[in-house]
Structure 1
Amino acid sequence: MLVIDDDPASLHLTSRALNAPAFDPPTLVQDARRLREVLAADAFDLVILDMVMPHLDGWAVLEQLHEVCGDHVPPVLVVTGDTRRSLQVRALRAGACDYLAKPFDPGELVARAHRHVSIHRSRSALRRQKALLESLVQQRTVQLRRSQLDIAQLLGRAAEYRDNETGAHILRMSHASTLLARRLGWSDADCEQLLSASPLHDIGKIAIPDRILLKPGPLDADEWSLMKTHTTTGAAILSVADNETLRLAATIALNHHEKWDGSGYPNGRAGREIPPAARIVAVADVFDALRSARPYKPAWPTQRAVEQIRAQAGRHFDPEVVAVFLETVDELEAIGSRFADPALPRP
């Protein structure tokens, strides 16, 4: 407890009254100008405060307590010789929790002090418990999000492996998509959701026969029609779950082959009819595909792939996404290096 009173006799009397087994010896302050120094050195369960003091009166002390302690101001018991009702009301409005007139009964002071200390300690314990629980919930939320991302990446990689991919493509594409989204002004939460959802963009390929999916040459018209169904199949697979991230994944799966000019598939959507996440993933996906070796083509050099993306702005791709893409090529290359395909063994 902290006792602030300019009268040495009052300090002594208060100290004697509080010399009880339930309390630690109080800190006694005769000059209220030392308040900030005292508060910096220790925390208190109760402040017993005289209002009429030189240099710094009780009103100024109450203001400083709120400045220094913020939301964790200890209870303040005003003990003063001024018994005016208006003063009591003013003190309570200024933040005091109780009022005791001098001369006071020591037993009453102890009883009131005990009650306020007990309440303060209980509230402090509840705050600590609340902070602990919030920390545990936050840790668990991070773990769940990590698990959700791991599952999405594993499922996405499973689909990629059927397409003779190493699985690194979905890591590069999803991180590239997240980078573009962030530069477009998306919130951290939305970017995190995109990172989890975008790896599932080609999940529908699990329903495409190997003779089409792995065909080294061009597809005929019937084969191409069947290949295009991976968008609707992926959306159907992902739409059955009542989960915000999977709903976004379904939207991306359905729309990531739509084109800005309306010439894409499966629904021929154009411009801003195409959901923003799908517009972003389209750029990231094609850029990585161009820079990756496929059964039907070698990997393109970065500059050639960049020029292709630039040339398709307003046709295949959202011009705004392309503009951000062109500003982040170096960072996208760093993502490519971070998640590079494993080196093939020498024959």
Structure 2
Amino acid sequence: MAENNSHVELTDETAPYTVLIVDDTPQNLTILGELLRPVYHVRAANSGERALRAAHTEPKPDLILLDVMMPVMDGYEVLRQLRQDSVTHNIPVIFITAMTGSDNEEHGLEVGAVDYITKPFVPSIVLARVRTQLELKHARDRLAAENDWLEREVARRMRENLLIQDLSVRALACLAEARDNETGHHIVRTQAYVELLVHKLAQHERFCDALSGNRSGMVIKAAPLHDIGKVGIPDAILLKPGRLTPEEFEIMKTHAEIGSHAIKKAMADAMAAADSVTANQAQGAFAFLEVANEIALGHHEKWDGSGYPAGLAGDAIPAAARLMALADVFDALTCRRVYKSSMPIEKATAIIVEGKGSHFDPDVVDAFLSCLDEFSDIAIRFADPVSLGE
């Protein structure tokens, strides 16, 4: 029988569930304990304070039978504190009381009890209601565990899909780079430069819309595709060991439109093959390809309108392309090519600054200057075997 100055442990080591009985009357603890012990692991507490402590100690209760009318701390207060505690707020509580009024029962359910058992106890009713609540808890716990597993599995597959997307983008970029063997780590460096600029300008009033939410990540991930159109340039021009003639340069310039056409065709083919559900699910991929298209088509446009292929000027040039333009030129200046030596970072920086307001968006140049040390670190860390003015 429960003692008045401690909580009582009535245990059955083989029982699958633990039931905590809380009542200030030793006789009630004994009756309920003897009734439940053949089926469950039973613990008991004879006050609200001890009940709260017992709810935190192992084995933690799967269900609490809680007397309403107790001195010092009644059942309502015990339940309130259980619900406020992240450790105990999901433990189902059945109120036990001698009060039989419907108002009392309604109030008990309103404050969070899952059921209501009146005294004197009817053994079959007590067992049935305890079993029902434990079965419900088991079902909830199993559902929660399955939901946790599903969330982890969805997260894992999303990571896999993102990795596949990143690898696919990198593979396509490397395909273009492989045909232009002078570029070395060009796509690695330019992507890193674009990432620096994105982070610097994401909160800028002129760029916040273009770089908000997921778009900032899309711009960074799409940067390696800026020269994808070079796969369509003849080897005699792309690999020419020297400067291009004006006629050859006109052909080289078409790589921007070739890349854009390839990306748009991929989007159109995918959209044509997709049903309404698949098309809706693919909106994120299409948004990414839209950004990739902006970069591939517009990274040779100039702020003053003298660039190609469309001669766009100012804010008519997509923001992602404006960032890519500076990153691409900086990398071209600081790296060796068959037709030129690499240029010291200081001289390349001076050329970038000279192009502020003509070749480049002035705010992009300012962002570049604010993170010039990081640009230099990237240029050195991922330098080609012969570059940087050596």
Length-normalised TM-score, structure 1: 0.90
Which whole-Å CA distance do the structure 2 matches of 1:141 and 1:72 have between them?
A: 32
State which of 45, 50, 53 in structure 2 corresponds to 1:29.
45
State which of 198, 202, 217 in structure 1 corresponds to 2:223.
198
TM-superposition CA deviations, 1:307-341 (whole Å, max 9, x none):
22223222222222222222222223333344332
State which of 147, 155, 170 in structure 2 corresponds to 1:138.
155
Which secondary structure does the structure 2 equivalent of 1:290 belong to?
helix
Shift of residue 290, structure 1, vs aligned partner: 1.4
Which secondary structure does the structure 2 equivalent of 1:26 belong to?
strand
Structure with the higher helix share, 1 or 2: 1
Equivalent in the alignment of 1:331: 374
What is the identity, as a one-letter code, of the residue corresponding to 1:164? N
Q: Is the 8 A contact 1:158 1:167 kept in 2?
A: no
Equivalent in the alignment of 2:6: none
What is the identity, as a one-letter code, of the residue corresponding to 2:251? L
Q: 5+ residue gaps in structure 1?
A: none
Compare 151-160 and 61-70 and name the one that shifted more.
61-70
Residue 6 of structure 1 pairs with residue 24 of structure 2: yes
Which whole-Å CA distance do the structure 2 matches of 1:110 and 1:123 have between them?
A: 20
Which whole-Å CA distance do the structure 2 matches of 1:171 and 1:213 have between them?
A: 20
Length-normalised TM-score, structure 2: 0.81
Q: Is the 8 A contact 1:148 1:196 kept in 2?
A: no
Q: 1:106 to 1:134 in 2, by over 3 A?
A: same
Which secondary structure does the structure 1 equivalent of 2:116 belong to?
strand
Which whole-Å CA distance do the structure 2 matches of 1:187 and 1:6 have between them?
A: 60
Residue 87 of structure 1 pairs with residue 83 of structure 2: no
TM-superposition CA deviations, 1:139-198 (whole Å, max 9, x none):
121122112111211221221222223541101111221232123234674343333311
What is the identity, as a one-letter code, of the residue corresponding to 2:326? V
Q: 1:309 to 1:59 in 2, by over 3 A?
A: farther
Which whole-Å CA distance do the structure 1 matches of 2:370 and 2:156 have between them?
A: 35
Which whole-Å CA distance do the structure 2 matches of 1:61 and 1:273 have between them?
A: 65
Which whole-Å CA distance do the structure 2 matches of 1:205 and 1:179 have between them?
A: 25
Equivalent in the alignment of 1:271: 314
| Aligned 1:280-319 pairs, distance under 5 A | 280-319=323-362
| RMSD between aligned residues | 2.2
Which whole-Å CA distance do the structure 2 matches of 1:342 and 1:157 have between them?
A: 18
Q: Is the 8 A contact 1:182 1:188 kept in 2?
A: no
Equivalent in the alignment of 1:223: 248
Which secondary structure does the structure 2 equivalent of 1:41 belong to?
coil
Equivalent in the alignment of 1:16: 34
Residue 123 of structure 1 pairs with residue 167 of structure 2: no
Residue 253 of structure 1 pairs with residue 296 of structure 2: yes
Shift of residue 295, structure 1, vs aligned partner: 1.5
Q: Is the 8 A contact 1:241 1:247 kept in 2?
A: no
Which whole-Å CA distance do the structure 2 matches of 1:37 and 1:334 have between them?
A: 57
Shift of residue 73, structure 1, vs aligned partner: 1.1
Residue 67 of structure 1 pairs with residue 110 of structure 2: no
